[in-house]
Structure 1
Amino acid sequence: MNRIPAPALLLALAGLIPFLWAALLALGLTSAADWNLPAVFAGDGRLLMVRYGGIILPFMAGTLWAFATRAEGLPAFAAYVASVLPALWWFFMPGTSAETALINLAIGFAALLLIEIAFDRWQLTPSWWLALRIQLTVVVLICIAIGIWA
């Protein structure tokens, strides 16, 4: 089965909304006041992106931990170690400004995708996982790039 399950796809796309909103804020193309949104959606898009990305990167590391439980022996050790690297990266490299935090998030999400490719090759992920994650990661990295250069 290579088709992405509808619930996974819909929730994954919904998870992109804060990144996309933050990119629009960073570009100055919208504001929370324009849409009568809660205060959490107001302010500096770059900081919103750092806050949300700083939650999602470790969350995705947690999904890798779950996939690592499917491995055995030495491959399991490698999978468990790889699964915690994105969260540790964010803990040790949060950045000293919005720009450096976004750069470190971009590195973290790119590395996460490389780890997911390894997990796919080790046959630890569902058959549809990598197709979904590549698309999501591309959008996330574009949003982060907007935040860095806006």
Structure 2
Amino acid sequence: MNKIPRAPLILGLFGLIPFVWGAATVWIDDLAALGLQYMGPRFIGPYVQLFYGSIILSFMSGVLWGFATKATGAQATAGYTLAVLPALWAFFMSGGGPSSAGVNLIFGFLGVLLLDFAFSRWGLTPAWWMTLRTLLTAIVVACLTLTVI
């Protein structure tokens, strides 16, 4: 297993907070009431997950675009083309109500993991990338699943 550098690991784990918080406020009524009182409805339940999840999928498009800059020729063209897919997915698939949008985000995050794998196989990512991305994706998908079930 490739050791994940401390900064990306810590920042990645902190980036999970809105997903974990959203799932917790779906399952714990007192926590939802507290969040509603102090932060408002946009920052509890599926709403925080959907908004933040769309932002993160768009962010991942930028990360993949950065990896594509290391490629040349046809591989670069493929990389740039694939890099825009997560942002487009978030834009087109995160509407339609909290349950369907949550399911679509789950598929979006699983799709990004497949793209991560492709970019990793092409040698465009750091050696530790897939270890980090697998961990973070598993937690994101688990939190979204807890919200949509």
Give TM-score scaled by structure 1 length: 0.91
TM-superposed deviation, 1:10: 0.5
Counterparts of 1:135-150 in structure 2 under 5 Å? 135-149=135-149
Q: Distance in 1 between matches of 2:140 and 2:98?
A: 16
Determine the structure 2 residue equivalent to 1:14: 14
Structure 1 vs Structure 2: percent identity of aligned residues? 45
Determine the structure 2 residue equivalent to 1:74: 74
TM-superposed deviation, 1:60: 1.1
Identify the range of structure 1 (90-99 vs 24-33) with the bigger mean alpha-carbon deviation: 24-33
Q: Kindly report structure 1 stretches of 4+ aligned residues shifted beyond 3 Å.
A: 32-35, 40-44
Q: Distance in 2 between matches of 1:135 and 1:62?
A: 20
The 3-state SS of whatever aligns with 2:84 is: helix
**Aligned length, in residue pairs:** 149
Q: Which amino acid aligns with 1:103?
A: V
Q: Which amino acid aligns with 1:24?
A: A
Counterparts of 1:1-150 in structure 2 under 5 Å? 2-28=2-28, 30-31=30-31, 34=34, 38-39=38-39, 44-149=44-149
Q: Distance in 2 between matches of 1:40 and 1:6?
A: 33
Q: Is the 8 A contact 2:54 2:91 kept in 1?
A: no
Q: Distance in 1 between matches of 2:4 and 2:147?
A: 29
RMSD: 2.2
The 3-state SS of whatever aligns with 2:94 is: coil
Q: Is the 8 A contact 1:24 1:30 kept in 2?
A: no
TM-superposed deviation, 1:44: 3.9
Unmatched runs of 5 consecutive residues or more in structure 1: none
Give TM-score scaled by structure 2 length: 0.91
Identify the range of structure 1 (68-77 vs 52-61) with the bigger mean alpha-carbon deviation: 52-61
Q: Distance in 1 between matches of 2:125 and 2:11?
A: 18
Unmatched runs of 5 consecutive residues or more in structure 2: none
